[in-house]
Amino acid sequence: MFEGIQVAAAVGRPDPHAGEVPVAFVQLQKGSSLTVDQIKEHLNKVIGERAAIPKDVFIMEEIPLTPVGKIFKPTLRWEAIKKHFL
């Protein structure tokens, strides 16, 4: 995990050319001042496969969780779609 990030998740966003592209959502640790650009730069360094590098990174106040504490990805997918297409 990257210093300053509390929780992170990647989901697929529909793409007319590729079918789907990865996007990332992150929840920062309290007091962290990481920026989207810093996170993208880090991801470009640590992810070896170009197609797997998230095309967008979104910082969220709080990542949505299920009642048992797992990341609720349907909400993140919908957010990715809304931010890109609406």
- Round the average pLDDT of the chain to a whole number and report it: 96
H-helix or E-strand spanning residue 83: helix 73-85
CB 83 within 8 A of CB 56: yes
Domain spans of the chain, in order of start: 5-85
Distance in angstroms (rounded) separating the CA atoms of residues 31 and 61: 12
What is this structure's pTM?
0.92
- Alpha carbon 8 to chain centroid distance? 6
The string of pLDDT tens digits covering residues 18-51 is 999 999 999 999 999 999 999 999 999 999 999 9
Q: Is the CATH number of domain 5-85 3.30.300.30? A: yes
User: Quick one: pLDDT band at residue 9, thresholds 50, 70, 90?
Assistant: very high
